[in-house]
Structure 1
């Protein structure tokens, strides 16, 4: 199993265990918010009555939906064949101190009770009805309390059971409370007889797990389906370029417009309006809203004007007004979070006036002061359209669109960086780069971080089309593992008029997505609220049927145990199949012996490195794919000096693994590039005459010679930090000597592809790893460099193109996609790569992503050639 696939498999295992613990399934009932004939009913025994002797028990788990208008209705009606009814109903009248009531015939029994709102609306409550025919009594058990009532009427031992709406003659009712139901059990004489988990996803029937007795359902709303399909809770419009804030504790959404505040509860059907008492709030471009959990206030922020205004819900006024009209903004779609520890709002990124931002700003609420926060550590990519979320150990920043320089004109691109931001220590740490699956995706504004599981959730979407979709994804906080979850959400994307955000409502156990689209012609924002029950199911989840109780109870746990054992077997099998792939062996002095010892299963390495050379080679050649690459070059990259030319600009790392590129002046960087490229490409170096022509053609011969000597001396002084690696003159040419003592990705790549037509998958994966960060020096613009860039592009395209033609899409879809993405680094309208990527996405079931890949290609083609791409999507795949 490939390393990437193994990570995904482990992640899916976690998803499985996570779902076991949460057990989110059941049936939701359409209630008073629907017409009478569209309300839900569940009927058992209507075709053939259920019989019992002596004792009967009916148990189930119940919960109510919060924030509904009307809760009156029948939870169940048990109707015997001789016409006796036993009902549990909910009486919503405020003058009643007990709302749950048990009815027999036409009489209220003394059995009545309440359930606390937190338990009733946000948790499952087990309930049980018991009939004792011998003693002629009825009991009801709820929340650990038993209520008993003497049953004075004779009743038949055959009955029908209906939950919700009832159409049985003489017992008809359409009064249904907005409830959820699961795990219906019928027992006889203290032994189980029937069991309906209600864990279906579709359909109007539910099979009993033991006796195949069928429950008939009209107008079902399956909870499991609500874990896979986003539900639009509401959609409305409000004035101005609106923004949104979320109160996690109260599960309330606030939409800030120019004339009013719109307020909606998660799970509620209504959105209420509060008009401002003091006139319009003059919203400015780029402003965003945030909820202050300490003072329970909605805030609206303008970074450009350095103003934060707060809403007073009592007076319906804002504390400050913005300067209007404003002249644009520099901070469209910035990320923000509220820090309770220091009562501050932290803001990062943003876009405006053709510039992307990477700086961190802080607004301190008590003093109403603004300041810029310097960050050390790894670089924060200038961006907008990133996702940011707060966890217990820090704040996380995912992706974004921008450019390394911050200038929109200089190679804008999508970032695959996943960073952890320590606002106390003011340090950024790059945790990893996202998989190639995310290479065309940007993020909704917020991430949901779950520290207990080590996961975060976000909404991703392509930023190169107007009619697009949001997709929920879960990913690991520490490594590249991901899973697409649920269905997609329609989203109209126009970067300065659109906004999307993601929240989590812990009491409702729901993800909440919000989309905003501003129409500047009407000056209205259309807002939509979507919910998805947690834990969400993977996208394209299949339909499940009812299983027997013993399987329901132990099956998933058994599957989890089996999966763990299966993974262990795979890892053992991997150790056994050691001689299937090989890698090149070039630098025995730089082998990571500690890692090698672990893989070889040895306790010590007593031999000297020279004595172990042959043994090391054999061990490395026996190790598969990515781990072998890590042995050969991983030690150099992570622990030794290196020079990297792929991924944009020149990057130089010293012996301690610290980047020192900034210590080199622009002239010294260009000279170093020339010495490396000429040494590797021509295997001799560059002449003094050529150096003079390139750098000092306007100077005299003696002045040019002096400049050359001084700058080479400066360069060699800096190169001492890389070890035994310097510029020297050999056979009349200036070159790097010795070239092999420092890892150079260009050198490694050139040697691997030189005079070679066929590659193993291991070698291809190493090539992909080399070019993973992007094209060859694509951010460097020297006239003399163009030939090197062209030659490298041809080498990459030819090598990867030849390899991809020999791959079977059924077995290598993910690898093909990864290769195609690398091809696009060098040729963004490579038709063969587009076709291969579309076919691979279809093979993996990502139909919409395949179509997006084709449409993106067509847009770029039309922009470059001024005409439409001649082939249809279907023609490309034929």
Structure 2
């Protein structure tokens, strides 16, 4: 029930999800009279004095439309006309129908299509300059503009300037803002509405819409691209580089579906045979070579484009019944070998991770330290984008012993698999309700910054079901269902679905496969714009309502938000308690009173990065990876010695490859953004003092690492202080999911100080039994092989009569010891529990 409550709360709260908004401009794919335009000043022009700035986000699509007007601005007094024109791949700023020095090539600037790019145009009348910025690249040109006047403004096809505009590029625009003399005056987010006019949310001004489409529709609705019917089941692979889906048949035949042209073609006169079973045993291997593999025959076959042939000539020696249905697959990031994970076959679930050794021609089982993943199949797996040596596995169906006769368990857990360190870590798990029986597809897609992931999930109680996008978070145990659904026929091993990322179009691709009547197979391909958004997007158009009605809705919204916040916090607290980091054994009946971590003006670093503002709102999401790292650099150096960190050191850590001028500009921009975020916290300040950047925290700001350092320095502690230390450190190690190299010394120093202090307290002080037990668990959180903690824990459990739990703790330690040190642990259980550890 707890899992369903999470989903219920998140569904209600889905309107705050980041869902793409904006206007999608129809271009030459439609007739001229149906193309999109927005008249910003359709009723009256905008006044300015000294200067004004326009800024918005723009996304240019990869289509056959290579030309058109993005923006037209007509100044009233001097009759100056400014146009921003696009002619793929070039963008120009035109002044009075003449080219200016402002000309940029998107390819030269490495600006991708189908991505949001910030665009800014500033007119500085006092200095007679026009400044232009696109994706952070800056340009300027001299201009003569009246010091005060008015201007009209439009986007796309709007004919009001005495000449005919009929071309608009394939683009989308959102968040158009206008500043006058440095002060924000107007803002149009361009959220979906069914009105012909849309309101400026900073004033009463409206803009006129002509033939709009809405970006959100492309992020909420799957588009069926094509459906194919084949006589035999194909093995399916996605060629990311060429953006082609390959369908490979046991006969050796290959059919290719080009996503860009929406055409299916066959490769003619293919020689040889692939070797594979029926469980989608195909992958793009080394050098992007199409490769099939077999578990039954311990073999692989590669397709050579130059010779148009498969390596294998002879037919199969064994049957093609798979050993591992619905397994996951990848190319090992270190060895570059084909690597498979888990699967189902012969009435058993597997938890094997295997790589194919091309030299010895056999599958070898890979060994990992850390957490154990229970046997399963129908899981979702993906490789990180920031770190390609890290894989993430989500969900699945199986049971702890791997035998089908023992029943099925639905898993909603997330594991981090480090192929470089050969280590597995369980990140989180959601407890499922018996009625909630959803399974993911084979692959998941990590976001660019690896903070979240997308997969498809389907309810499996019925054969005729549906697929829906699920968004998960690497550091937060929760899921969102978003967008519409795709029909899916699930008949276990006879069905297959997968998810791919189409990079050039910035879309997700969903693929479904099913067996139809007559033993033919139907493959359907769908796409949706990336990232998928919420179907419950708020309509930004507000009709005028009586004051009493507005107050009623405001009060209702406030109550609802409070209830949602309360429920989410309760659920979050329960979920955290359910997560098993290291030792699951807590047997003492007398609970330590709960110390509530502050969630107002609070900075939490243990267990993970989290920041709360002065109103209790979690503002962690506002820190981009760069802002987060900059903030932590300044904060930790400030706490360490009170002096802070120099600009040169910041450049060395964050922008080592950039020239000093560029790094200085990046630092200035990000410091400004950081200060803006920290305005939500009362009592924190970033200052530049004596050539050092530092963060000053007032007494009303809680920072857990500063609090812990103060507590560790205190010699005489009461019970409340111990409880505080225990509850702070129980969240986990310092910034455990943030791993830049500069952070390692802070982590090592903090861990060493904490472990040594806790060891001293737990072994020498005459403390309350429950506190000593809790401290031993905290020590294991920071040092899983700490012998002092083992002796304390086992001794206390034994003295309480819980000998089996003491033995379980000891055996867990011994197994870890052997795994890490490759030798037997020297002390017996009797020696451990008989150790005199009391004060």
TM-score norm. by structure 2 comes to 0.56
- Return the offset for 1:394: 4.7
1:216 maps to 208
Instruction: Specify every segment of 5 or more residues in structure 2 that has no aligned partner in the other structure, as ranges.
Output: 544-557, 574-585, 597-717, 724-764, 775-792, 813-828, 835-839
- Tell me the alpha carbon deviations over residues 100-140 of structure 1, each in whole angstroms, 9 at most, x when there is no partner: 345567766676442336315245141427496998x9886
Decide whether aligned partners of structure 1 residues 71 and 468 sit closer, same or farther in structure 2, where only a CA change above 3 A counts: farther
Asked if residue 655 in structure 1 is aligned to residue 807 in structure 2, the reply is yes
Asked if residue 60 in structure 1 is aligned to residue 55 in structure 2, the reply is yes
Asked if residue 472 in structure 1 is aligned to residue 469 in structure 2, the reply is yes
Q: Distance in 2 between matches of 1:78 and 1:402?
A: 62
1:30 maps to 26
Q: Distance in 1 between matches of 2:298 and 2:473?
A: 35
2:704 maps to none
1:72 maps to 67
1:602 maps to 720
1:828 maps to none
- Tell me the alpha carbon deviations over residues 246-293 of structure 1, each in whole angstroms, 9 at most, x when there is no partner: 566x5845333344453556xx5745756255268667511333333x
1:501 maps to 498
1:625 maps to none
SS of 1:328 mapped into structure 2: coil
Of residues 348, 359, 362, the one that matches 2:341 is 348
Q: Counterparts of 1:751-762 in structure 2 under 5 Å?
A: none
Q: Distance in 1 between matches of 2:127 and 2:382?
A: 61
2:527 maps to 530
SS of 1:465 mapped into structure 2: coil
1:146 maps to 140
- Please tell me whether the aligned partners of residues 25 and 35 of structure 2 are also in contact (alpha carbons under 8 angstroms): yes
Instruction: Specify every segment of 5 or more residues in structure 1 that has no aligned partner in the other structure, as ranges.
Output: 93-97, 548-558, 575-588, 617-634, 645-651, 661-718, 725-878
2:281 maps to 288
SS of 2:807 mapped into structure 1: coil
Decide whether aligned partners of structure 1 residues 111 and 603 sit closer, same or farther in structure 2, where only a CA change above 3 A counts: closer
SS of 1:657 mapped into structure 2: helix
- Please tell me whether the aligned partners of residues 109 and 149 of structure 1 are also in contact (alpha carbons under 8 angstroms): no
Q: Distance in 2 between matches of 1:281 and 1:221?
A: 48
- Return the offset for 1:339: 1.4
- Please tell me whether the aligned partners of residues 235 and 278 of structure 2 are also in contact (alpha carbons under 8 angstroms): no
Decide whether aligned partners of structure 1 residues 145 and 425 sit closer, same or farther in structure 2, where only a CA change above 3 A counts: closer
- Please tell me whether the aligned partners of residues 641 and 656 of structure 1 are also in contact (alpha carbons under 8 angstroms): no
- Return the offset for 1:538: 5.2
Q: Distance in 1 between matches of 2:258 and 2:460?
A: 28
Asked if residue 194 in structure 1 is aligned to residue 191 in structure 2, the reply is no
Q: Distance in 2 between matches of 1:349 and 1:172?
A: 63
Asked if residue 177 in structure 1 is aligned to residue 174 in structure 2, the reply is no
Q: Distance in 2 between matches of 1:331 and 1:412?
A: 17
Q: Distance in 2 between matches of 1:163 and 1:337?
A: 45
Decide whether aligned partners of structure 1 residues 366 and 209 sit closer, same or farther in structure 2, where only a CA change above 3 A counts: farther
> Which gives a bigger RCO, structure 1 or 2 (Cα 8 Å, sep 6+)?
2
Q: Distance in 2 between matches of 1:276 and 1:492?
A: 32
- Please tell me whether the aligned partners of residues 242 and 525 of structure 1 are also in contact (alpha carbons under 8 angstroms): no
Decide whether aligned partners of structure 1 residues 639 and 264 sit closer, same or farther in structure 2, where only a CA change above 3 A counts: farther
Asked if residue 444 in structure 1 is aligned to residue 441 in structure 2, the reply is yes
Corresponding pairs, count: 588
1:664 maps to none
- Return the offset for 1:461: 1.3
SS of 1:144 mapped into structure 2: strand
SS of 1:198 mapped into structure 2: coil
Q: Distance in 1 between matches of 2:799 and 2:525?
A: 52
Q: Distance in 2 between matches of 1:167 and 1:567?
A: 52
TM-score norm. by structure 1 comes to 0.54
Q: Distance in 1 between matches of 2:28 and 2:272?
A: 37
SS of 1:31 mapped into structure 2: coil
Q: Counterparts of 1:275-424 in structure 2 under 5 Å?
A: 275-278=267-270, 284-292=277-285, 295-313=287-305, 316-320=308-312, 323=315, 326-365=319-358, 369-373=362-366, 380-391=373-384, 392=387, 394-403=390-399, 406-416=402-412, 418-421=414-417
1:207 maps to 199
2:726 maps to none
1:463 maps to 460
- Please tell me whether the aligned partners of residues 46 and 152 of structure 2 are also in contact (alpha carbons under 8 angstroms): no
- Return the offset for 1:402: 3.6
SS of 1:446 mapped into structure 2: coil
Decide whether aligned partners of structure 1 residues 7 and 77 sit closer, same or farther in structure 2, where only a CA change above 3 A counts: closer
- Tell me the alpha carbon deviations over residues 482-515 of structure 1, each in whole angstroms, 9 at most, x when there is no partner: 3334443333323234322234567876554433
Decide whether aligned partners of structure 1 residues 405 and 162 sit closer, same or farther in structure 2, where only a CA change above 3 A counts: same
Q: Distance in 2 between matches of 1:339 and 1:537?
A: 32
- Please tell me whether the aligned partners of residues 497 and 519 of structure 1 are also in contact (alpha carbons under 8 angstroms): no
Of residues 509, 513, 516, the one that matches 1:516 is 513
Decide whether aligned partners of structure 1 residues 609 and 108 sit closer, same or farther in structure 2, where only a CA change above 3 A counts: closer
Decide whether aligned partners of structure 1 residues 99 and 133 sit closer, same or farther in structure 2, where only a CA change above 3 A counts: same
Q: Distance in 2 between matches of 1:640 and 1:540?
A: 56
Decide whether aligned partners of structure 1 residues 52 and 446 sit closer, same or farther in structure 2, where only a CA change above 3 A counts: same
- Return the offset for 1:41: 2.1
SS of 1:182 mapped into structure 2: strand
CA-based RMSD: 5.6
- Please tell me whether the aligned partners of residues 53 and 180 of structure 2 are also in contact (alpha carbons under 8 angstroms): no
- Tell me the alpha carbon deviations over residues 22-73 of structure 1, each in whole angstroms, 9 at most, x when there is no partner: x954323233344555532222233x24154777756233544453233222
Q: Distance in 2 between matches of 1:277 and 1:378?
A: 49
Asked if residue 115 in structure 1 is aligned to residue 106 in structure 2, the reply is yes
2:750 maps to none
Decide whether aligned partners of structure 1 residues 429 and 187 sit closer, same or farther in structure 2, where only a CA change above 3 A counts: closer
Q: Distance in 1 between matches of 2:22 and 2:399?
A: 48
SS of 2:111 mapped into structure 1: helix
SS of 1:471 mapped into structure 2: strand
Q: Distance in 2 between matches of 1:641 and 1:6?
A: 40
Asked if residue 435 in structure 1 is aligned to residue 431 in structure 2, the reply is yes
- Tell me the alpha carbon deviations over residues 528-559 of structure 1, each in whole angstroms, 9 at most, x when there is no partner: 1323433x545645444699xxxxxxxxxxx9
